[in-house]
């Protein structure tokens, strides 16, 4: 009877060891995956920081495009936007060097669909 009880106890311990090993393997996979997420989140935070800095100039230029340039040719609009970007930078108002009304005012998901 004592041998049977010890045998059952040993089997229980083996099952627990197996479960712990599986949990440990899953935890290592999760931690590895979260490490990649940290890199992605850091890049996203940096990108948002740059967008935040450029936001005032980008919205100012976008407002001008919407209010004044709709009736003009695309060539004239592009030239005017470049001039406005230069004016913003001359007064130390940051704006995106790759300015786009679509990027500033649009929702990329809605634009694609």
What tens digit of pLDDT does each residue of 75-92 get?
999 999 999 999 999 999
Which pLDDT belongs to residue 66?
93
Task: Please give, one letter per residue, the 3-state secondary structure of 29-73.
Answer: HHHHHHHHHHHHHHHHHHHHHHHHHHHHHHHHHHHHHHHHCCCCC
**Run of H or E residues at 81:** helix 74-90
Q: How confident is the model at residue 99 (pLDDT cuts 50, 70, 90)?
A: very high
Whether the per-residue pLDDT at 4 is higher than 90: the answer is no
Q: What region, left, alpha or beta, does residue 48 occupy, with left being phi > 0 and alpha being psi -120 to 50 degrees?
A: alpha
């Amino acid at each position: 009877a004592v041998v049977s009880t010890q045998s059952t106890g040993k089997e229980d311990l083996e099952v627990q060891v197996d479960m712990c090993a599986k949990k440990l393997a899953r935890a290592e996979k999760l931690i590895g995956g979260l490490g990649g997420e940290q890199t992605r989140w850091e890049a996203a935070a940096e990108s948002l920081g740059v967008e935040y800095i450029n936001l005032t100039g980008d919205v100012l230029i976008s407002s001008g495009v919407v209010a004044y340039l709709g009736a003009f040719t695309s060539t004239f609009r592009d030239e005017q936007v470049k001039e406005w970007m230069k004016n913003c930078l001359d007064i130390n108002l940051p704006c995106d060097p790759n300015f786009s009304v679509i990027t500033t005012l649009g929702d990329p998901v809605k634009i694609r669909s």
